[in-house]
Amino acid sequence: MGDLYSWIKALHVISVIAWMAGMFYLPRLYIYHVAAPVGSPQSETFKVMERRLLRAIINPAMFATFIFGIWMLVLLGPSVWSEGWWHVKLTMVILMGAYHMFLSRWRRDFEADRNQRSAKFYRFANEVPTVLMIVIVIMVIVKPF
Protein backbone atom coordinates (compact mmCIF):
# COMPACT_ATOMS: atom_id res chain seq x y z
CA MET A 1 0.00 0.00 0.00
CA GLY A 2 2.88 2.41 0.73
CA ASP A 3 3.98 2.89 -2.87
CA LEU A 4 0.42 3.24 -4.20
CA TYR A 5 -0.47 5.66 -1.40
CA SER A 6 2.58 7.81 -2.18
CA TRP A 7 1.59 8.06 -5.85
CA ILE A 8 -1.99 8.95 -5.00
CA LYS A 9 -0.82 11.53 -2.46
CA ALA A 10 1.53 13.08 -5.05
CA LEU A 11 -1.29 13.27 -7.60
CA HIS A 12 -3.56 14.76 -4.95
CA VAL A 13 -1.01 17.50 -4.13
CA ILE A 14 -0.49 18.25 -7.84
CA SER A 15 -4.26 18.52 -8.30
CA VAL A 16 -4.60 20.80 -5.28
CA ILE A 17 -1.85 23.08 -6.61
CA ALA A 18 -3.57 23.37 -10.00
CA TRP A 19 -6.96 23.95 -8.36
CA MET A 20 -5.60 26.63 -6.06
CA ALA A 21 -3.69 28.37 -8.85
CA GLY A 22 -6.92 28.75 -10.78
CA MET A 23 -8.87 29.81 -7.69
CA PHE A 24 -6.32 32.57 -7.08
CA TYR A 25 -6.24 33.73 -10.70
CA LEU A 26 -9.92 33.75 -11.66
CA PRO A 27 -10.97 36.47 -9.19
CA ARG A 28 -8.04 38.58 -10.44
CA LEU A 29 -9.50 38.30 -13.93
CA TYR A 30 -12.85 39.43 -12.49
CA ILE A 31 -11.17 42.48 -10.94
CA TYR A 32 -9.83 43.50 -14.35
CA HIS A 33 -13.04 42.52 -16.14
CA VAL A 34 -15.09 44.93 -14.00
CA ALA A 35 -13.14 47.82 -15.57
CA ALA A 36 -13.80 46.66 -19.14
CA PRO A 37 -16.84 48.25 -20.79
CA VAL A 38 -19.65 45.79 -21.54
CA GLY A 39 -19.42 44.56 -25.13
CA SER A 40 -15.88 45.83 -25.62
CA PRO A 41 -13.23 43.61 -27.20
CA GLN A 42 -11.45 43.59 -23.81
CA SER A 43 -14.60 42.35 -22.05
CA GLU A 44 -15.11 39.62 -24.64
CA THR A 45 -11.47 38.53 -24.23
CA PHE A 46 -11.93 38.30 -20.46
CA LYS A 47 -15.02 36.13 -20.99
CA VAL A 48 -12.98 33.66 -23.07
CA MET A 49 -10.11 33.64 -20.57
CA GLU A 50 -12.46 33.09 -17.60
CA ARG A 51 -14.41 30.31 -19.31
CA ARG A 52 -11.27 28.47 -20.41
CA LEU A 53 -9.61 28.81 -17.02
CA LEU A 54 -12.65 27.45 -15.23
CA ARG A 55 -13.44 24.63 -17.65
CA ALA A 56 -9.94 23.52 -18.64
CA ILE A 57 -8.05 23.94 -15.37
CA ILE A 58 -10.10 24.70 -12.27
CA ASN A 59 -12.96 22.20 -12.76
CA PRO A 60 -10.76 19.22 -13.73
CA ALA A 61 -8.28 20.04 -10.96
CA MET A 62 -11.06 20.15 -8.36
CA PHE A 63 -12.45 16.85 -9.62
CA ALA A 64 -8.99 15.23 -9.47
CA THR A 65 -8.39 16.69 -6.00
CA PHE A 66 -11.57 15.08 -4.71
CA ILE A 67 -10.94 11.75 -6.44
CA PHE A 68 -7.38 11.40 -5.13
CA GLY A 69 -8.36 12.70 -1.69
CA ILE A 70 -11.18 10.19 -1.35
CA TRP A 71 -8.90 7.44 -2.63
CA MET A 72 -6.35 8.29 0.08
CA LEU A 73 -9.10 8.20 2.71
CA VAL A 74 -10.17 4.76 1.57
CA LEU A 75 -6.60 3.52 1.78
CA LEU A 76 -6.06 5.05 5.23
CA GLY A 77 -9.26 3.61 6.61
CA PRO A 78 -11.68 4.87 9.24
CA SER A 79 -9.03 5.65 11.88
CA VAL A 80 -8.42 9.10 10.31
CA TRP A 81 -12.10 9.99 10.09
CA SER A 82 -12.46 10.48 13.85
CA GLU A 83 -9.51 12.85 14.27
CA GLY A 84 -10.28 16.51 14.99
CA TRP A 85 -7.91 17.95 12.40
CA TRP A 86 -9.64 15.87 9.73
CA HIS A 87 -13.04 17.39 10.54
CA VAL A 88 -11.65 20.93 10.32
CA LYS A 89 -9.90 20.10 7.03
CA LEU A 90 -13.06 18.56 5.59
CA THR A 91 -15.06 21.65 6.58
CA MET A 92 -12.51 23.91 4.87
CA VAL A 93 -12.54 21.74 1.73
CA ILE A 94 -16.34 21.94 1.62
CA LEU A 95 -16.09 25.72 1.94
CA MET A 96 -13.49 25.73 -0.86
CA GLY A 97 -15.93 23.79 -3.03
CA ALA A 98 -18.65 26.33 -2.22
CA TYR A 99 -16.27 29.17 -3.14
CA HIS A 100 -15.60 27.35 -6.42
CA MET A 101 -19.35 27.34 -7.09
CA PHE A 102 -19.52 31.09 -6.40
CA LEU A 103 -16.68 31.66 -8.88
CA SER A 104 -18.66 29.69 -11.46
CA ARG A 105 -21.80 31.69 -10.81
CA TRP A 106 -19.94 34.99 -11.04
CA ARG A 107 -18.42 33.88 -14.35
CA ARG A 108 -21.88 33.24 -15.72
CA ASP A 109 -22.87 36.76 -14.61
CA PHE A 110 -19.94 38.22 -16.55
CA GLU A 111 -20.75 36.00 -19.54
CA ALA A 112 -24.29 37.40 -19.63
CA ASP A 113 -23.07 40.99 -19.04
CA ARG A 114 -24.99 41.19 -15.76
CA ASN A 115 -22.18 41.53 -13.21
CA GLN A 116 -23.28 43.86 -10.40
CA ARG A 117 -20.21 43.48 -8.17
CA SER A 118 -17.33 45.88 -7.80
CA ALA A 119 -13.61 45.34 -8.17
CA LYS A 120 -13.39 45.86 -4.39
CA PHE A 121 -15.77 42.93 -3.87
CA TYR A 122 -13.60 40.66 -6.02
CA ARG A 123 -10.44 41.86 -4.24
CA PHE A 124 -11.97 40.77 -0.96
CA ALA A 125 -13.26 37.51 -2.45
CA ASN A 126 -9.76 36.82 -3.77
CA GLU A 127 -8.56 36.41 -0.15
CA VAL A 128 -11.00 33.62 0.68
CA PRO A 129 -9.06 30.73 -0.89
CA THR A 130 -5.87 31.93 0.79
CA VAL A 131 -7.43 31.76 4.26
CA LEU A 132 -8.99 28.37 3.56
CA MET A 133 -5.70 27.02 2.17
CA ILE A 134 -3.76 28.18 5.23
CA VAL A 135 -6.14 26.38 7.58
CA ILE A 136 -6.11 23.23 5.43
CA VAL A 137 -2.31 23.09 5.26
CA ILE A 138 -1.98 23.61 9.02
CA MET A 139 -4.51 20.86 9.71
CA VAL A 140 -2.77 18.39 7.39
CA ILE A 141 0.84 19.15 8.35
CA VAL A 142 0.64 20.18 12.02
CA LYS A 143 -2.48 18.20 13.01
CA PRO A 144 -3.00 20.43 16.08
CA PHE A 145 -5.82 18.27 17.47
Domain residue limits, the chain:
2-141
Binding region? 12, 89
Across the range 2-24, mean pLDDT stands at 95
Q: Quick one: pLDDT at residue 68?
A: 98
Instruction: State how far the alpha carbon of 110 is from the alpha carbons of 37, 50, 95, 145, in Å.
Output: 11, 9, 23, 42
Q: Is the per-residue pLDDT at 1 higher than 70?
A: no
Q: Is the per-residue pLDDT at 79 higher than 90?
A: no
Binding region for heme? 12, 89
The span from the CA of 107 to the CA of 110, in Å, is 5
Helices 84-111 and 41-52: angle between axes, nearest 10 degrees: 150
User: Do residues 53 and 24 touch, judged by C-beta distance below 8 A?
Assistant: no
Q: Quick one: pLDDT at residue 124?
A: 97
Q: Is the per-residue pLDDT at 132 higher than 90?
A: yes
Across the range 6-32, mean pLDDT stands at 97
Alpha helix segments (H runs only) across the chain: 2-34, 41-52, 59-76, 84-111, 119-125, 128-141
Nearest to 33, CA basis, from 118, 124, 126, 130: 118
**Tens of pLDDT, residues 36-69:** 999 999 999 999 999 999 999 999 999 999 999 9
Q: Is the per-residue pLDDT at 81 higher than 90?
A: no
Evaluated on CA atoms 116, 122, 123, 128, the torsion sign reads positive
Across the range 88-94, mean pLDDT stands at 97
The span from the CA of 125 to the CA of 27, in Å, is 7
pTM as predicted = 0.92
